[in-house]
């Protein structure tokens, strides 16, 4: 299929080399340059650099290349701290100084608005990116695939350019506890000669080591994902975990015997300790089970939620809708400054969690219902309940079109859109502008330093 594509661009061909000036960063952290007015994406290249590029893939309207030589390096280029940075692929921006990462992430959001909306660059009310004081060791959860390399047990991520498992002994963006627990579990698997899952042959047992740590309580949960119902040498394994990892407060087994890239299967059961660990965000506390979603960077989550609160401009009289509410975290963050919060989610278990969380914290002005926002909002409106503020934190794919149509009909005074994908944010904003809203504020938030990902809090108000 690519052969046709390769022949359909008269300007460039695979293997061709030429000088290229890098102008910006793309959404995946790659450098962007232009050759005869056509865009060329180059991983690892930075804005302001002059490089010799070699074309690796050609498409009708763009090309991808690799750096052959850096003729003029950017002043903010730094040596990555991680020794396996380039082979792992989990981070994309370690070679860029952190202050510059924050500037470029802001520009990635600006580019999305330039591309998908009619707002001019100088008219977009966008703040500086909210960053971290210490942009390392921030992730509270690791999920490393397990494999064998001769007699060695390895665990890590698949390389971004191949299906080769890269062993990670010390990930610099992970909380140190997750590194310690993962390495000790690898050692126990090797010492006990336990069977490891072979993806190609679909044989063996242990597939994935998942470790989550609670920053505030220091509780640690270990989840072992196996392809078999039974945990190999279970009693020996448990006694070694207890002996070598007394800090583990929750040990859980999850069974996934499917041929899939998904980490978890449907069956989960406790091995020892509690079924959950407790984490705090500000004054709120949450019980986290093995498969419960929780933000991966708790320190930045506080800043993200505070930015939502700031942009909501609450006076205590507002009725708020927390759409796609999950276990209710954002709505509960706002509840004490609002008159009432109503949340909805299509996942019933999330709604049960949200109700439990609200009850536990004595939040009496929150109501949670399972269902789609586009069904519940009109129902509530008929009952005479109209929200002043709608907060939405959708998946990467953005908001459902029928949800956006419903928001346009309900006409809240303000809508706060928390996004993890600038492209879908800008597309959805373009649609809402056509329905009578305007952008009041956009604030990028760096939830994942050293990577190309950027979140944004965007507030729209009725004209």
Tell me the C-alpha distance between 286 and 279, whole Å: 5
Element (H, E) at 100: helix 98-116
Distant-in-sequence, close-in-space partners of 383: CB < 8 Å, separation ≥ 6? none
Residue 70 burial (10 A CB sphere; 0-12, 13-18, 19+): middle
User: What's the distance, CA 368 to chain centroid?
Assistant: 25
Please, are residues 176 and 211 in contact by the beta-carbon 8 Å criterion? no
- Nearest to 350, CA basis, from 364, 334, 370: 370
Q: 317-346 burial by CB neighbour count: b if 16+ within 10 A, else e?
A: ebbbbbbbbbbbbbbbbbbeebebbbbbbe
**Residue written as tokens 């650099």?**
49
Query: Does the active-site annotation cover 399?
Result: no
401-410 and 373-382 are packed helices; what angle lies between their axes, rounded to 10 degrees? 20
Helix (H, G, I), strand (E, B) or coil at 281: strand
Distance in angstroms between the alpha carbons of the first and the last residue of the chain: 48
| Dihedral, 114, 115, 117, 118 alpha carbons, nearest 10 | 60
| Dihedral, 440, 444, 445, 448 alpha carbons, nearest 10 | 150
| Residue of 82, 171, 325, 420 marked catalytic | 420
Question: What percentage of the chain's residues is helix, strand, coil (to nearest 5)?
Answer: 25, 35, 40
Residue 124 burial (10 A CB sphere; 0-12, 13-18, 19+): middle
Give me the active site residues, please.
420
């Amino acid at each position: 299929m690519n052969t046709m594509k390769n022949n359909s661009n008269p300007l460039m061909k695979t293997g061709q080399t030429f000088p290229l000036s890098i102008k910006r960063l793309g959404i995946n952290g790659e450098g962007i340059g232009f050759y005869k007015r056509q865009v060329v994406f180059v991983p690892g290249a930075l804005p302001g650099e002059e490089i010799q590029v070699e074309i690796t893939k050609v498409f009708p309207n763009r090309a991808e290349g690799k750096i052959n030589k850096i003729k003029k390096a950017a002043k903010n280029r730094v040596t990555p701290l991680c020794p396996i940075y380039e082979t792992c692929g989990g981070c994309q921006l370690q070679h860029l100084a952190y202050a510059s990462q924050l500037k470029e992430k802001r520009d990635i959001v600006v580019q999305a608005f330039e591309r998908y909306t009619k707002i001019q660059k100088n008219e977009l009310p966008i703040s500086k990116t909210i960053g971290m004081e210490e942009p390392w060791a921030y992730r509270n959860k690791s999920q490393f695939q397990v494999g064998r390399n001769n007699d060695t047990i390895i665990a890590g991520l698949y390389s971004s350019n191949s299906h080769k498992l890269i062993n990670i002994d010390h990930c610099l963006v992970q909380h140190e506890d997750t590194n310690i627990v993962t390495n000790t579990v690898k050692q126990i698997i090797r010492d006990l000669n336990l069977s490891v899952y072979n993806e190609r042959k679909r044989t063996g047992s242990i597939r994935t080591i998942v470790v989550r740590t609670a920053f505030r309580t220091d509780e640690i949960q270990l989840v072992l994902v196996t392809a078999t119902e039974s945990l190999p040498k279970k009693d020996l394994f448990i006694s070694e975990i207890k002996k070598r990892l007394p800090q583990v407060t929750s040990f859980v087994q999850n069974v996934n015997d499917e041929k899939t890239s998904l980490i978890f299967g449907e069956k989960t059961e406790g091995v020892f300790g509690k079924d959950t660990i407790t984490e705090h965000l500000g004054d709120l506390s949450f019980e986290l089970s093995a498969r419960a979603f929780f933000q991966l960077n708790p320190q930045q989550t506080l800043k993200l939620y505070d930015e939502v609160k700031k942009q909501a401009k609450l006076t205590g009289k507002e009725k708020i809708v927390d759409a796609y509410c999950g276990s209710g975290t954002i709505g509960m963050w706002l509840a004490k400054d609002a008159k009432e919060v109503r949340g909805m989610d299509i996942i019933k278990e999330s709604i049960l969690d949200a109700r439990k969380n609200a009850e536990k914290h004595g939040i009496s002005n929150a109501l949670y219902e399972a269902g789609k926002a586009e069904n519940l909002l009109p129902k509530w409106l008929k009952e005479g309940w109209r929200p002043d503020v709608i907060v939405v934190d959708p998946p990467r794919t953005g908001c459902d079109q029928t949800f956006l149509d419903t928001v346009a009909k309900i006409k809240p005074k303000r809508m706060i859109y928390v996004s993890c994908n600038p492209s879908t944010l800008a597309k959805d904003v373009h649609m809402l502008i056509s329905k009578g809203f305007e952008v009041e504020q956009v604030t990028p938030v760096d939830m994942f330093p050293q990577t190309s990902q950027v979140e944004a809090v965007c507030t729209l108000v009725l004209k």
